[in-house]
């Protein structure tokens, strides 16, 4: 029994109070590098491309180019341009399990409908119809500059990549809103979820008609002529496209002391970036380590690029074949059941204006370190992956032994709401899984806010987890 009673109580302390000047300098340097990644990777495809570039600079090779198992070998695999898995092969056989950090690269956004382009004849304007993706407050997406990003497959099968608004001299796009002088009857009495309705998320994209006075929909036609001249596109090509409207707000440090970083897509690219940076720094791991950056988490991890797809199985199978080409499915299942996972996803940080939705003893605070979340879900833990005490204790010991700043918490009060992550899909495979990521303010908005200290704490925590035996 401890003679010092003060050590019996858990004390939450800001990361900044524990960091000396040298460590704080490291926080800011790391955050600047992360901000560059965030601004370059505004879509899941662009984020995968950037992570691939960074991985190759660190000596990672496509898994298909590696012919045999060698401890310390660095490999990666990409799934349909929207997932990237990075791995460093361990000293032990993969059948003994892996240490895996799983994050997601998709972010709430506005997708163009398959037939998006139309003309408002009364206004002489061309507009684009959208369908929001993920959980958004729709009113947050009006009156901000939007970029148009995506991939189009032309009639002849050619692929065209779009990134309009990416460069400073590019045009941008916008969804306009009614002025306060005229909104009393039309909008003022709407509930917040209906302030802007889904079908009102239409993007202004043109206003100059073609010269031909006899042509129909002259402004729409002018937009199509521009797309055809610059990209070889016609209207039918939009049906075979994936085009996203994303905020063009650049990442910025926040506060007199620059202690926060604002930007689009912290949820969950902050975890993808920090887990990748951590795996770059892994040295001689006992177990194979994997950073899995996936897609479609914001809509339930569905589809062939979501965590419910077979890509994880296939990737681990490819790794196992490097050491044992005739491996059995039973061996792969043993690998899964012996693996340990951090489901690296952001969680809600307490907002200064809305503390009431949290039970403060179990709430995440920005600037207080990496957040361990034992369970998610809603109501009576419905839809949750509830980590067992043994695994939580194992992770906690790793963090304490390596002096990682951490905190614990949940997403709000009981019955207040809730959410989910990829954790339950990995737990279904028999893996030990714990949700673990930084607390973020203004979550799911076009400009989310994360503590600079928590970005680095995430990197530190994931690295310590990878290196654990």
One-character DSSP codes across 408-464? E--SSSTTT-EE--SHHHHHTTT-EEEEEE-EEESTTSSSEEEEHHHHHHHHHHHHH
pLDDT of residue 426: 98
pLDDT tens for 8-36 read: 888 889 999 999 999 999 999 999 999 99
CA of 361: how far to CAs of 172, 195, 344, 410, in Å? Answer: 44, 33, 22, 10
CB atoms within 10 A of CB 53: 10
pLDDT at 1: 53
Q: Please, where are the H alpha helices in 355-412?
A: 389-401
pTM above threshold 0.85: yes
- pLDDT, the chain, mean: 96
Least confident segment among 112-116, 294-298, 407-411: 407-411
User: pLDDT tens-digit profile of 34-54?
Assistant: 999 999 999 999 999 999 999
Residues 6+ apart with CB under 8 A from 188: none
Q: Which residues contact 288 (CB under 8 A, 6 or more apart)?
A: 87, 88, 89, 90, 92, 94, 98, 99, 319
Cis peptide before 268 (omega within 30 of 0): yes
Listed residue (242, 207, 275, 205) closest to 82, CA to CA: 242
Structure confidence at residue 373 (pLDDT)? 95
Considering the chain, what percentage of its residues have pLDDT values greater than 70? 99
Average pLDDT over residues 345-373: 95
pLDDT of residue 129: 99
Average pLDDT over residues 159-169: 95
DSSP-H helix ranges across 41-94: 44-57
CA dihedral (228, 233, 236, 242) positive or negative: negative
The pLDDT tens digits for 445-466 are 999 999 999 999 999 999 999 9
Is residue 3's pLDDT more than 80? no
Q: Which CATH class name applies to 5-107+264-467?
A: alpha beta
pLDDT at 411: 86
Predicted confidence band of residue 354 (pLDDT cuts 50, 70, 90): very high
The angle, 0 to 180 degrees and rounded to 10, between the axes of the packed helices 266-280 and 21-40 is 120
Question: Confidence class of residue 2 from pLDDT cuts 50, 70 and 90?
Answer: low
Least confident of 237-251, 307-321, 378-392: 378-392
Q: Name 265's Cβ contacts closer than 8 Å, sequence gap at least 6.
A: 38, 41, 42, 107, 448
Q: Average the pLDDT over 265-275 and give the result.
A: 98
CB 140 within 8 A of CB 445: yes
| Fold of domain 109-247 | Aminopeptidase i, Domain 2 (2.30.250)
Please state the rounded mean pLDDT for residues 107-133: 98
**pLDDT tier at 158, thresholds 50, 70, 90:** very high
Q: Which helix (H) or strand (E) holds 276?
A: helix 266-280
Q: What is the mean pLDDT of residues 325-354?
A: 97
Name the pLDDT band for 92 (thresholds 50, 70, 90).
very high
pLDDT digits (tens, 9 = 90+) for 407-437: 999 988 988 888 889 999 999 999 999 999 9
pLDDT in tens, 320-329: 999 999 999 9
Task: Give the pLDDT of residue 442.
Answer: 98
- Segment 401-406 mean pLDDT: 97
Q: What 3-state DSSP class applies to 344?
A: coil
| pLDDT (tens digit per residue) in 125-147 | 999 999 999 999 999 999 999 99
Spell out the domain ranges in the chain.
Answer: 5-107+264-467, 109-247
| Average pLDDT value for residue range 398-409 | 97
- % of the chain with per-residue pLDDT over 90: 92
With a cut of 90, say whether residue 379 has pLDDT above it: no
């Amino acid at each position: 029994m401890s003679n010092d009673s003060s050590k019996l109580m858990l004390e939450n302390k800001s990361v900044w109070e524990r960091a000396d000047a040298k460590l704080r300098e490291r926080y800011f340097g790391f955050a600047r590098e992360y901000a560059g990644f965030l601004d370059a990777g505004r879509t899941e495809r662009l984020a995968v491309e950037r992570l691939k570039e960074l991985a190759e600079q660190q000596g990672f090779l496509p898994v298909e180019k590696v012919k045999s198992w060698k401890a310390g070998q660095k490999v990666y695999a990409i799934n349909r341009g929207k997932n990237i898995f990075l791995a460093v092969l361990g000293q032990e056989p993969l059948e003994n399990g892996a240490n895996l950090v799983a994050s997601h690269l998709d972010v709430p956004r506005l997708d163009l409908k398959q037939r998006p382009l139309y003309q408002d004849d009364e206004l002489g304007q061309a507009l684009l119809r959208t369908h929001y993706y993920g959980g958004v407050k729709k009113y947050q997406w009006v009156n901000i500059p939007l970029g148009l990003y995506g991939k189009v497959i032309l009639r002849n099968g050619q692929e065209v990549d779009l990134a309009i608004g990416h460069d400073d001299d590019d045009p941008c796009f916008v969804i306009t809103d009614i002025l306060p002088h005229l909104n009393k009857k039309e909008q003022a009495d709407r509930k917040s979820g209906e302030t802007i309705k889904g079908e009102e998320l239409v993007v202004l994209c043109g206003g100059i008609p073609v010269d031909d006075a006899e042509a129909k929909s002259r402004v729409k036609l002018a937009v199509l002529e521009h797309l055809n001249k610059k990209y070889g596109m016609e209207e039918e090509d939009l049906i075979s496209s994936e085009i996203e409207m994303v905020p063009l707000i650049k990442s910025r440090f926040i506060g007199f002391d620059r202690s926060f970083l604002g930007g689009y897509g912290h949820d969950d690219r902050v975890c993808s970036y920090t887990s990748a940076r951590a795996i770059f720094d892994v040295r001689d791991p006992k177990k194979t380590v994997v950073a899995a950056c996936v897609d479609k988490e914001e809509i339930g991890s569905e589809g062939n690029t979501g965590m419910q797809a077979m890509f994880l199985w296939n990737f681990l199978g490819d790794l196992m074949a490097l050491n044992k080409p005739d491996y059995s499915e039973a061996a792969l299942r043993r690998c899964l059941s012996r693996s340990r996972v951090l489901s690296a996803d952001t969680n809600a940080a307490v907002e200064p204006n809305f503390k009431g939705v949290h039970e403060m003893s179990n709430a995440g605070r920005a600037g207080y370190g990496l957040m361990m979340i034992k369970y998610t879900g809603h109501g009576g833990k419905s839809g949750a992956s509830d980590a067992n005490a043994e695994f939580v204790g194992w992770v906690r010991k790793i963090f304490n032994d390596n002096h990682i700043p951490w905190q614990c918490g949940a997403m709000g009060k009981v019955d207040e709401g809730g959410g989910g992550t990829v954790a339950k899909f990995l737990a279904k495979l028999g893996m030990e899984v714990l949700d673990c990521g930084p607390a973020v303010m203004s979550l799911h908005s076009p400009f989310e806010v994360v503590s600079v200290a928590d970005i680095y704490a995430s990197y530190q925590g994931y690295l310590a987890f990878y290196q654990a035996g």
